[in-house]
Amino acid sequence: MWKPKFKSATDPLHFYIVGGLVALGTVVVFLALYFGLPLPQQASEEAVSIDQLIYGHLMVIAFLFSLVVIFMIYAVVMFRKREGDESEGAHFEGNTTLEIAWTVLPLIVVVIFAFWGIRALNTVTRTEANEMAIEVDGFQWNWNFVYEGGVQSTELVLPLDRPIVVNMKSRDVMHGFWIPQFRVKQDLVPGQETHLRFTPTAVGEYTLGCTVLCGLNHYSMVAKVKVVPEAEFTVWLNEETAKVNHSLASK
């Protein structure tokens, strides 16, 4: 078995070994986070850019964790006091290059993530030319959705691949609009209209939940979300519009 021979505590070979272990540790920790804490299904265009940003943060987290823990374990193992060794530990002064590096490099990373975050925010908030507006009414402890033509529903029915803007109001206290598979989230603020944009990309049924503690039955403030093909959505909307018109005509 190969055993490295070190000239001193400051031998560059120590740093080469630790550097390799940190790189390996970064990969292992990132994979553990990636597979151990999987994100929900991506069901919107916005989820793609948001997930990329999340995974970028996870990579930095994995690197910093490995950098601290592996350096610490390596130092404990390699530089521990041996039995019968009464000598003084090696004395060396600070390293100016290293001090500059650990100041400048984190700053560069922060700036990169700032621009990355701004770009992701612009992506998920940009206005689309053909977006469909839905009015969302949140109240203790339920949801109501209003479509064009006066159609109202307690389920949020959405057309596949159609940009959506939800215009949200609260009747009482703060609520939070959150569909995990879409990633984007927005609060409903009393006395103020807020907006959220997303484009559904996967047919299926999801759950809308409130993310703000809004009272005794906060846990039950959920609604079914159905993403269906455009043609099926058009049929549903026309049927619901006909019901509204029939109800108005019969009055």
**CATH (domain of 187):** 2.60.40.420
Say if residue 110 is in the same domain as residue 163. no
Count the alpha carbons within 13 Å of 217 in the hemisphere toward its beta carbon: 7
**Final residue in a domain of this structure, among 87, 110, 125:** 125
Say if residue 114 is in the same domain as residue 207. no
Say if residue 103 is in the same domain as residue 161. no
Structural domain includes residue 137: yes
**Final residue in a domain of this structure, among 61, 90, 125:** 125
**Whether the predicted pLDDT of 43 surpasses 90:** yes
Structural domain includes residue 4: no
Structural domain includes residue 87: no
Q: What is the percent of the chain where pLDDT is above 70? A: 91
Say if residue 71 is in the same domain as residue 165. no
Q: How many domains does the chain have?
A: 2
What is residue 211's three-state secondary structure?
coil
Identify any residues that bridge with 29 across adjacent strands, giving them in sequence order. none
Q: How many residues does the chain have?
A: 251
Distance between CA atoms of residues 146 and 159, nearest Å: 15
**Whether the predicted pLDDT of 6 surpasses 90:** no
Tokens encoding 210: 């409130």
Q: What is the pLDDT of residues 104-119, one digit of tens each?
A: 999 999 999 999 999 8
Q: What confidence score (pLDDT) does residue 99 get?
A: 86
Strands 222-228 and 175-178 come out as unpaired
Structural domain includes residue 86: no
Structural domain includes residue 2: no
Say if residue 141 is in the same domain as residue 37. no
Q: Which residue carries 């006066």 as its tokens?
A: 150
Say if residue 190 is in the same domain as residue 150. yes
Distance between CA atoms of residues 43 and 206, nearest Å: 9
What is residue 58's three-state secondary structure?
helix
Average pLDDT of the residues in 30-38: 92
Q: What is the pLDDT of residues 118-176, one digit of tens each?
A: 988 888 888 888 889 999 999 999 999 999 878 899 999 999 999 999 999 999 999 99
The helix (H) or strand (E) run that includes residue 204 is strand 204-209
Structural domain includes residue 84: no
Rounded to the nearest integer, the mean pLDDT of the chain is 88
Q: What is the largest CA-CA distance in the chain?
A: 100
Say if residue 73 is in the same domain as residue 105. yes
Q: What confidence score (pLDDT) does residue 232 get?
A: 93
Structural domain includes residue 178: yes
Which structural domain range is residue 40 located in? 12-78+98-125
Say if residue 168 is in the same domain as residue 65. no
* Residues with Cβ within 8 Å of residue 95, at least 6 apart in sequence: none
Say if residue 113 is in the same domain as residue 166. no
Q: What confidence score (pLDDT) does residue 11 get?
A: 62
Say if residue 150 is in the same domain as residue 239. yes
Distance between CA atoms of residues 184 and 110, nearest Å: 23
- Between 24-33, 71-80, 154-163, 224-233, the lowest mean confidence (pLDDT) is in 71-80
Say if residue 111 is in the same domain as residue 144. no
Structural domain includes residue 162: yes
pLDDT greater at residue 31 or residue 13: 31
**Whether the predicted pLDDT of 2 surpasses 80:** no
Say if residue 144 is in the same domain as residue 119. no
Task: Quote the pTM value.
Answer: 0.79
Q: Is the dihedral of CA 241, 242, 243, 248 positive or negative?
A: positive
Return the exposure string of 4-28: e unless at least 16 CB atoms fall within 10 Å of the residue's CB, then b.
eeeeeeeeeebeebbeebbeebbee
Average pLDDT of the residues in 41-62: 92
Distance between CA atoms of residues 145 and 153, nearest Å: 5
